[in-house]
Structure 1
Amino acid sequence: MLDKTYDSATVEPKIAQKWDEADAFRAGANAKPGAETFTIVIPPPNVTGSLHMGHALNNTLQDIMVRFERMRGKDVLWQPGMDHAGIATQMVVERRLAERQQPDRRKMGREAFIEKIWEWKAESGGLIFNQLKRLGASCDWSRERFTMDEGLSKAVLEVFVTLYKEGLIYKDKRLVNWDPKLLTAISDMEVEQHEVKGNLWHLRYPLEPGVTYQYPIAFDEEGKPTEFETRDYIVVATTRPETMLGDTGIAVNPEDERYRGIVGKHVILPIVGRRIPIVADSYADPTAGTGAVKITPAHDFNDFEVGKRTGLRAINVMNVDASINIKENEDFLEGLDNPAALHGAWDELEGKDRLEARKIIVRIFEEAGLLDKIEPHTHAVPHGDRGGVPIEPRLTEQWFVDNKTLGQPALESVREGRTKFVPRNWENTYFNWLENIEPWCISRQLWWGHQIPAWYGPDGQVFVEKSEEEALQAAIQHYLSHEGPMKAYVEDLLENFKPGEILTRDEDVLDTWFSSALWPFSTLGWPDETPELARYYPTNLLVTGFDIIPFWVVRMMQMGLHFMKDENGNSVEPFSTVYIHALVRDKNGQKMSKSKGNVIDPLELIDQYGADSLRFTLAIMAAQGRDVKLDPARIAGYRNFGTKLWNATRFAEMNGAKSDPHFVPEAAELTVNRWILTELARAERDVTEALESFRFNDAAGALYRFIWNQFCDWYLELLKPIFSGEDENAKAEAQSCAAYVLEETYKLLHPFMPFMTEELWAHTAGDGQEREGLICHADWPAPSYADNVAADEINWLIDLVSGIRSVRSEMNVPPAATAPLVVVDANSLTRERLFRHDAAIKRLARVEAISLADTAPKGAAQIVVGEATVCLPLGSLIDLSAETARLEKAIAKNDQEIARIAGKLSNEKFVANANPDVVAAERERLGELEGQQSSLKVALARVSEAG
């Protein structure tokens, strides 16, 4: 017999240990002979990470599919692993060194610091794997991989060297996102936009001597200028005055009449003294600011593009820490007369932080009469998500991948349907990124990560190879085959060779996403030709969030298509389906963040409600394309759902239900058993079809309705008279059928609630025995049974009883009171059903007598069931006038609230300016009220009928 209550805190560790001891999730476990494969690679969490709600949703959905396909007999591999998380891990270890008052990494040196990181990983890294196991993730944990493993590092070297030699990796000087706190380039994904209250400074740039123009200052009703003033300056508006030191031009729109006459003229850049041109470019918006834009190609991404189009120089005026660098800056000084009059300002600015320099520059403009005006201005400022400071677009030499060439096959693959997105609308994000793709900056100025396999000779010549030995051989061959001073120099070095004299290795490491891009095949042993690679590649499904489509999904497609070929040499996609899940928000629809204080810890929810309750909640709320609004109260509700099944199992056991290997559904004789077997088969089909199309919420919803409503509320209720009756044959069939349906239900529910179903499976073998096999290896139900006649009959009974109960509830009939039932226009089938189910109707609907009539009695509430009208004379059981007054009062109150909310939602200003989550909540509330109002009006009509 099962324990009286289900205790998740006790059961879950016990079941996890049982799975572990049985090696239940190894690749191929439970696979049928000749089975097709089903492979998922886990999106590798950061080695520094701990479980958050996004992980919980992502891995719950993956685990549902993995358990489902494993039970269907496929050869399943769910490949686990972790990402080395370059910046995040380096920051964690640096912070740890500081807390322990140990030398920082620069004092320690690269090798010693990297040893410290490996020590930290051995002690603290990978905590998230244990947390995923608590969630029930059924990965093949014996195959755990790490992006810095020897095997994966080998794959990284192979890819980098190959792409370099194919011309698809190269060095270039371009603008990158630069974090001046961490002193490294960072990816777009590591940049967050922060709303900042700042200023828009309007600065006057004097035109070169002798140049003036007529600027309009008054206009008629049609917007035509009527008055002008002569100006010998042009006003530019900027949020970043400190970058003006690197200005090399001013852009105006070619259609802007105000400035057309001075295009091609020059201004003299204040503080600097450089003569810079006014150029025409459509980037300048005549309606924004003054319509004239300062162009700083080395410090702004848009300006960099304008500079390329118009031939403007790019002058970097900052150091790596975003301090001003001009006095000894050759690029800055080039072309300047270096007038002594400006040296005082240069001295004051040199070495200052950019924000301090901003104040100095604004002061100098004001003192010179060149500060036109200052306007308050709220705008988005990009910040590094780790360093927490504004990023600086920085012109620097970095390593890049030719994304455009690699991206074309990835674009065609999805367009031609070889890889599909679910929901399909996410293809647009994928297409938009690839159609507008930029070179990918893959170098990072860090120590933790895959060091770039590039070495430089004495003259700067680069040699890219998989090892220093190979690079040295390439360098010797290069230098000795070219006559000149370098040949003699290298020959001299070789005579007294010392390691490190000829070649110097590039100090940068690769972007973390570079190794992640190889994840689907590197984890299977590539570049070696392993059995696992041959068996499990390509993978079937990728489950991930929409925010990393450009950074991970696109790059895996690019790398997979470039490096993985079939036996005919054709490119192979890394996965056939990409399922994009939504965000998990708080119960009010707000995005979770520490600053809002609304972060929900999944481990706390598991402690409080159990992993199964959390998993089922996430699944039933995971409608495609809709964010999950997570309310702990919902989790408590689905814990009650598990309790309901547990109690139903105990009730069945107490009434003699036990596993019967000889039970054959087709041999069932009782109508109620044939009905539940038919409904079971429908549920099996619904769940299977929903999972096959990744409609997790529909699958969970079908299970909920079948278990809670059909099995617990109706089937067990209808069995009570049979269990307590004298017909032993009927009792035996009901006992066997109930046990069979429960067993099939456990299987269907297992992917969603694995711990409870494994425990139920183990302890419902009968006769106090524990099953030998695991439910995670049981065969998935194959629906075949159908008896529509029986199903129609019992569903008719359910509709009848439900209708009567609804009327009684609406009219506030006392629960204990019984009422007569009069059935009008009943055909022969309905009459037979009323006769067969007379006792059940009276017991379940609190009916005292059932009679047939040709016309409806006066003063009776009426409901239609099939062709018949069912009448309930309730006038003697309730105070009709008091009930009428109550309902009318409730309807009037609802009308007021509906009018209030509808008024808000019809206000365009409210809808446009209010928080979108607030607007959505108001719409949801309006829908709820309208539903309530409809029910209240139906109830009022019923009372009126009865009166």
Structure 2
Amino acid sequence: MICSYKTFTRNYTQRRLIYSSTKIIPKENLSAPAYKPEIVEKNKYEEWKTKRIFEAKLNSENNTFSIVLPPPNVTGKLHLGHALSSTIQDVIVRRQRSIGQNVLWLPGTDHAGIATQSVVEKYLKTKQNTDRHAIGREKFTEEVWKWKEVHGNTISEQLRLLGCSLDWSREVFTMDEKHMDAVNTAFIKLYKKGLIYRRKTLVNWCNALKSTVSDIEVENKTINGPTELMLPGYEKVVKFGLIYNFVYKILDSDEEIVVCTTMPETMLGDTAVAVHPEDTRYIHLKGKKVVHPFRKTTIPIIFDRFVDMKFGTGVVKITPAHSKVDNEIARHHNLPLLQVINEDGLMENAGEFNGIKKYDCRVKLVDTLNSLGLLKSVSPHQMTLPICSRTGDVIEYLPKEQWFLSCSGLNKKARQAVEDKSLKIEPAKFEKNWFNWTNDNRDWCISRQLWWGHRIPAYKCSADKNIVWIAATDELSAKMEASKYLRTVPEEIMAERDTDVLDTWFSSGIYPFAALGWPNIDERDYRKFYPLSLMITGHDILGFWVHRMIMLGMELTGNLPFNKVLLHGIICDSKGAKMSKSRGNVIDPIDIIKGISIDGLKEKVVTMHKDGILNEEELKKAISYHKSNFSNSNGIPACGVDALRFTLLSNDIKSHFVSFDVYQCHANKLFCNKIWQSIKYTQISYEKLKETSEEVTVEDLTYFDKWILSRLANMVEDVNKSLDVYDFHLATKSLRTMIYNEFCDIYLEATKPGFDRDDIKTRYAHAHTLSAVLETSLRCLSPFMVYLTEELIPKIPAFETNIIHNFKDQEKDYFDFPNSKDFKIWKNLELEKKVNKLLNTIFLIREVKGFYNVPNKIKSSIFVKTTDDKLITDLNRNKIIVQNLSKSGDIKINESINAMVVNVVLDKDTEIYVEISSAVESTAIKEKLQKKINKLEDNLLKLEAKLSSNHYINTVSEISQELDKEKLISKREELKRLRRLI
């Protein structure tokens, strides 16, 4: 009899008998005897693309779910950070599709102005022995486009390899014509609102880039004492962490004052010295001047309350052209700016030091001061060094006219969005960082002195000596607008377009809406999928990107671009160290997927060194890391895509750091094989079924059938709850526990006696359970292991109707995700409690046999002394299964013991006695066990003391603390197991 699932549910709840079909649906056999990722993954992605199953539907009436892939650099290659972020997104969107949502996951790549220009410049130098200045801007731009066409799709192809279900029909590149139009529109709109302005001020200048960088691209590095750094453009190290005290002579006096500085070369641009107005040491110098020893001119002594009387000598040199603090002071005192370092990092307006590199000048200048008797001392000193996060060069502050975005008003709105809960940041601990960003009202310098990028849509318009800057898309529009201000006809106006480009983060900031068609608000994608449902990215670019998207999205579209942000951690190695070239611990995900020998790893990093990607020190560290971590396995074993994805999400992605262990990944490949073998076992088991006219009902399900269904119901609930709140590590843990430990290790073994007997109903009950549990489990697993589940779900043996659950049509483009409420009827906590005690009995027998080296081939007798009537009943009903799972002989309950045994306590009601060989010296083994317990207890006490100390809590990184906590839990569990054996 065939019935619908609703009928089945209603009847079951009314305790009626439910009947199932015994007609088996033919299924294809497995393609190999064991799991081989290279076979399973082959051609599947191309099939998905051909079916266009990842494309969002404009005419769908289903609820929409939309996200964008944070666009990786067009120069990029897949690294573990990309793999983590894209796997998180893919799991989310695959599940959303499988519960009926109309999903858009939009792919794209970023033109990456600085990174791409650097790569192409290096390419031109290596291949053509030329540079951009030699070939000119137009030709250089052509070369970049050529390079992009040849090399720019690498990371997109690698994302396909990773199984990412992106809608490639909508792929975006941030230099596409539509995106360029959106960038120009955004700039002009913001300019007309008065939010973008141009002014001359001190900017962060990177000599290595020959460009300005924004404040948030500057890392303030603390130098605690004399420190040597290798900087771009220098062949020798440059020493920092020193303070130089030198003399300024008072004009027309024998007096002198001592000033101190960490950057002596900037004294060539000093235009004043300053003291505190209440400093009694210097009050008599009011109105006096000092003589500049190199310019042979005088500079004033000024009085300003910003000076710290207690620091150094209480006298401060003022260099307005090269210090932001000094620049502010100069404005208050009307001091001139004298620029002595140019955009190439060379000295200018510096007399005898002209044309020298600034740090070479430092050495020469200090020697000269010393020879003139003006150098008083050089001593160690703590300082903060501004470093360009992109090049590692020391930032110079230079006066330069640039474009800025006013941020105070935009920040207020962005801050308010989180305060009133219209924007949710998850995990909430990062809200503090959000408020730090939005409370920083420094304006954003958005112009860059590059050739590759979005050229600023602004024109310098002049008539006679009058000049006005106009934001416009073309020269004619600029002249028309300028004529209103210059009071002349457009034909008499000269218009010159700005040669600078916009900061890449500006175009990235409008990406969520520009990628969907803005400024054309009638664009169907924009109307249907904007605002986005969610933004997923690393917490390290909360300020760089998320902050900018919120500011620009609210201002330009009137909406938050998304209402929720999920921030994930930064990828680290298995020891908790952040992956970086400088540490040598970077692991290529492609090497994890396909495998690579230790020689292959070495050859790879040597090539990277030759190509200039790694320096000599980074090469040595990489080779050393590979030797210490991968020599024993002769490299990295091939793990496949699914094991990589599953491993990445087996850690708490909301932690500050996410550790990755190659060997855990390989263990998950073995987990894939375990699943493969379970399908194989199920197929073989179905072959043992004989045709029957008997009716198979729910009442025919066995004790272990009902237990595994209860565990299945728990797993489905846990996975759904975990995925709803992005706790992927809890979902993967629940899946692995259910499939590996409970289904494969226990339930499959428990079905073997049933399939070997002639009880037809038991065989069919097992068969229905196997099919339903595998089908449900693999559907829950499918967002994580995309290739394996695609391969196996259609091959799970099945009946026309299953007494447990009937899934919807398998011919759909993707598998429906199991709903928790559909499986609640199988929950049986009382049964689980009973089975747990039975299993604990089995596990204890196994432990004893293992500890006393009793081989499984020796079927030792087991004696159980218990007053627990439920356990007695369960042992008697499942004796064959207990024997099978514990690899033991006869199970004797409350009988006299007539053999040499060791006994262990299960609980207050039950003791277990395991027969051992007469050759085993149980006393010696127990003494050895006690020593092991004592040692473990001692180690635990030390570890607990370490983890609770204030020094440890305040100084050790979060990821290391998490790893230590896991170690503590593991050791406690081990101690608990060992104590049971005494």
What TM-score results when the alignment is normalised by the length of structure 2? 0.82
Does structure 2 retain, via aligned residues, the 8 Å contact 1:657–1:738? no
- Per the alignment, residue 578 of structure 1 pairs with 565
Letter in 2 for 1:757: T
Residue 591 of structure 1 and its aligned partner are, at CA, apart by 1.9
SS in 2 for 1:503: strand
SS in 2 for 1:648: helix
- Give, in whole Å, the separation in 2 of the partners of 1:77 and 1:137: 12
SS in 2 for 1:13: coil
* Deviating more after overlay: 637-646 vs 921-930: 921-930
- Give, in whole Å, the separation in 2 of the partners of 1:823 and 1:11: 50
Does structure 2 retain, via aligned residues, the 8 Å contact 1:821–1:850? yes
- Give, in whole Å, the separation in 2 of the partners of 1:714 and 1:903: 38
Task: Determine whether 1:22 maps to 2:22.
Answer: no
Letter in 2 for 1:146: F
SS in 2 for 1:299: coil
Residue 364 of structure 1 and its aligned partner are, at CA, apart by 2.2
- Per the alignment, residue 582 of structure 2 pairs with 595
| CA deviation vs aligned residue, 1:536-574 (integer Å, no higher than 9, x gap) | 111111111122111100000001111223xxxxxx211
- Per the alignment, residue 712 of structure 1 pairs with 744
- Per the alignment, residue 409 of structure 1 pairs with 413
- Residues 90-109 of structure 1 aligned to structure 2 (within 5 Å): 90-101=117-128, 103-109=130-136
* Deviating more after overlay: 194-203 vs 72-81: 194-203
- Residues 141-540 of structure 1 aligned to structure 2 (within 5 Å): 141-192=168-219, 196-197=227-228, 198-199=239-240, 200-206=242-248, 208-209=250-251, 232-250=255-273, 267-272=290-295, 273-282=297-306, 284=308, 286=310, 289-290=312-313, 292-307=315-330, 313-326=336-349, 346-377=350-381, 381-458=385-462, 459-479=466-486, 482=487, 487=488, 502-528=494-520, 529-540=522-533
Residue 505 of structure 1 and its aligned partner are, at CA, apart by 0.8
Task: Determine whether 1:868 maps to 2:895.
Answer: no
| CA deviation vs aligned residue, 1:561-602 (integer Å, no higher than 9, x gap) | 11223xxxxxx2111211111111122222222232211001
Letter in 2 for 1:556: M
- Give, in whole Å, the separation in 1 of the partners of 2:666 and 2:571: 17
Paired residue for 1:78, among 92, 100, 105?
Answer: 105
* Deviating more after overlay: 896-905 vs 350-359: 896-905
Residue 640 of structure 1 and its aligned partner are, at CA, apart by 1.0
Residue 388 of structure 1 and its aligned partner are, at CA, apart by 4.5
Letter in 2 for 1:589: G
* Residues 1:702 and 1:350: Cα distance change in structure 2 (over 3 Å): same
- Give, in whole Å, the separation in 1 of the partners of 2:562 and 2:324: 34
- Give, in whole Å, the separation in 2 of the partners of 1:826 and 1:853: 15
- Give, in whole Å, the separation in 1 of the partners of 2:736 and 2:284: 74
Residue 521 of structure 1 and its aligned partner are, at CA, apart by 0.4
Does structure 2 retain, via aligned residues, the 8 Å contact 1:268–1:274? yes
- Give, in whole Å, the separation in 1 of the partners of 2:795 and 2:912: 47
* Deviating more after overlay: 893-902 vs 10-19: 893-902
- Give, in whole Å, the separation in 2 of the partners of 1:254 and 1:712: 82
- Residues 843-922 of structure 1 aligned to structure 2 (within 5 Å): 843-845=884-886, 846=888, 848-852=890-894, 861-864=903-906, 868-872=909-913, 878-891=920-933, 893-894=935-936, 920=961
Paired residue for 1:825, among 853, 867, 879?
Answer: 867
- Per the alignment, residue 835 of structure 2 pairs with 794
Task: Determine whether 1:729 maps to 2:761.
Answer: yes
Does structure 1 retain, via aligned residues, the 8 Å contact 2:275–2:301? no
Task: Determine whether 1:742 maps to 2:774.
Answer: yes
- Per the alignment, residue 133 of structure 1 pairs with 160
- Per the alignment, residue 690 of structure 1 pairs with 722
* Residues 1:919 and 1:249: Cα distance change in structure 2 (over 3 Å): farther
- Per the alignment, residue 568 of structure 1 pairs with none
SS in 1 for 2:53: coil
Does structure 2 retain, via aligned residues, the 8 Å contact 1:612–1:755? yes
Residue 83 of structure 1 and its aligned partner are, at CA, apart by 0.6
* Residues 1:922 and 1:472: Cα distance change in structure 2 (over 3 Å): closer
Paired residue for 1:785, among 809, 818, 825?
Answer: 825
Residue 797 of structure 1 and its aligned partner are, at CA, apart by 2.3
SS in 2 for 1:938: helix
Task: Determine whether 1:46 maps to 2:73.
Answer: yes
Does structure 1 retain, via aligned residues, the 8 Å contact 2:206–2:212? yes
- Give, in whole Å, the separation in 1 of the partners of 2:798 and 2:819: 21
- Give, in whole Å, the separation in 1 of the partners of 2:963 and 2:105: 42
Consecutive unaligned residues in structure 1, runs of 5 or more: 213-231, 327-345, 495-500, 566-571
- Give, in whole Å, the separation in 2 of the partners of 1:283 and 1:892: 63
- Give, in whole Å, the separation in 2 of the partners of 1:674 and 1:896: 43
Residue 263 of structure 1 and its aligned partner are, at CA, apart by 7.8
- Give, in whole Å, the separation in 2 of the partners of 1:255 and 1:541: 57
- Per the alignment, residue 649 of structure 1 pairs with 679
Does structure 2 retain, via aligned residues, the 8 Å contact 1:252–1:291? yes
- Per the alignment, residue 545 of structure 2 pairs with 552
| CA deviation vs aligned residue, 1:313-341 (integer Å, no higher than 9, x gap) | 54322211121121xxxxxxxxxxxxxxx
- Give, in whole Å, the separation in 1 of the partners of 2:243 and 2:40: 65
Consecutive unaligned residues in structure 2, runs of 5 or more: 1-28, 229-238, 595-637, 801-808
| CA deviation vs aligned residue, 1:465-504 (integer Å, no higher than 9, x gap) | 222231122234444xx3xxxx3xx58x55xxxxxx7211
* Residues 1:502 and 1:308: Cα distance change in structure 2 (over 3 Å): closer
SS in 1 for 2:379: strand
Residue 117 of structure 1 and its aligned partner are, at CA, apart by 1.3
* Residues 1:250 and 1:929: Cα distance change in structure 2 (over 3 Å): farther
| CA deviation vs aligned residue, 1:32-72 (integer Å, no higher than 9, x gap) | x6322111111100111111111011111111101111111
* Residues 1:319 and 1:733: Cα distance change in structure 2 (over 3 Å): same
Residue 807 of structure 1 and its aligned partner are, at CA, apart by 4.1
* Residues 1:850 and 1:85: Cα distance change in structure 2 (over 3 Å): same
Does structure 2 retain, via aligned residues, the 8 Å contact 1:821–1:847? no
Does structure 2 retain, via aligned residues, the 8 Å contact 1:253–1:286? no
Residue 94 of structure 1 and its aligned partner are, at CA, apart by 1.7
What TM-score results when the alignment is normalised by the length of structure 1? 0.85
- Give, in whole Å, the separation in 1 of the partners of 2:369 and 2:34: 77
| CA deviation vs aligned residue, 1:746-792 (integer Å, no higher than 9, x gap) | 11001111011111123336699xx9636734344444333414434
- Per the alignment, residue 676 of structure 1 pairs with 708
- Give, in whole Å, the separation in 1 of the partners of 2:339 and 2:293: 17
| CA deviation vs aligned residue, 1:346-382 (integer Å, no higher than 9, x gap) | 4311222111221222122112212111124575533
Does structure 2 retain, via aligned residues, the 8 Å contact 1:585–1:591? yes
- Give, in whole Å, the separation in 2 of the partners of 1:478 and 1:172: 18
Letter in 2 for 1:67: R
Letter in 2 for 1:27: A
Paired residue for 1:610, among 616, 625, 640?
Answer: 640
- Give, in whole Å, the separation in 2 of the partners of 1:283 and 1:641: 66
- Give, in whole Å, the separation in 2 of the partners of 1:907 and 1:411: 36
- Give, in whole Å, the separation in 2 of the partners of 1:625 and 1:285: 45
How many residues are matched? Answer: 873
- Give, in whole Å, the separation in 1 of the partners of 2:673 and 2:976: 30
Residue 889 of structure 1 and its aligned partner are, at CA, apart by 3.8
- Residues 603-642 of structure 1 aligned to structure 2 (within 5 Å): 603-607=590-594, 608-642=638-672
Does structure 2 retain, via aligned residues, the 8 Å contact 1:205–1:233? yes
Letter in 2 for 1:74: Q
* Residues 1:5 and 1:353: Cα distance change in structure 2 (over 3 Å): same
SS in 2 for 1:457: strand
Residue 934 of structure 1 and its aligned partner are, at CA, apart by 2.7
Residue 134 of structure 1 and its aligned partner are, at CA, apart by 0.8
Identical pairs, percent: 35
Residue 688 of structure 1 and its aligned partner are, at CA, apart by 0.9
SS in 1 for 2:718: helix
